[in-house]
Amino acid sequence: MDKRSEEFKSTFQKQGVAGLSQAIFEDLDGWKNENINIAVLGQSGVGKSSFINALLGLKPSDEGAAAVGLHETTNEKKSYVHPKNKNFLIWDFPGVGTKNFPREEYLAKVDFRIFNYFILITSKRFFEYDIWLAHAVEMTRKCFYFVRSMFGNDIENEMNKKRKR
For residue 44, the tally of other CB atoms under 10 A from its CB is 18
H/E segment holding residue 154: helix 151-164
Write down the pLDDT at residue 153.
Answer: 67
What is the C-alpha to C-alpha distance for residues 138 and 135, in angstroms, rounded to an integer?
Answer: 5
pLDDT at res. 120:
93
**Is residue 34 classed as helix, strand or coil in its secondary structure?**
coil
**How many angstroms separate the most distant Cα atoms in the chain?**
75
The sign of the CA dihedral 122, 126, 130, 134 is positive
Write down the pLDDT at residue 148.
Answer: 86
Q: Which residues of the chain have pLDDT under 50?
A: none
Q: In the prediction, which pLDDT does 107 show? A: 83
> Under CATH, which architecture does the 34-164 domain have?
3-Layer(aba) Sandwich (3.40)
Domain boundaries, the chain: 1-33, 34-164
Query: pTM for this structure?
Result: 0.74
| pLDDT value of position 14 | 93
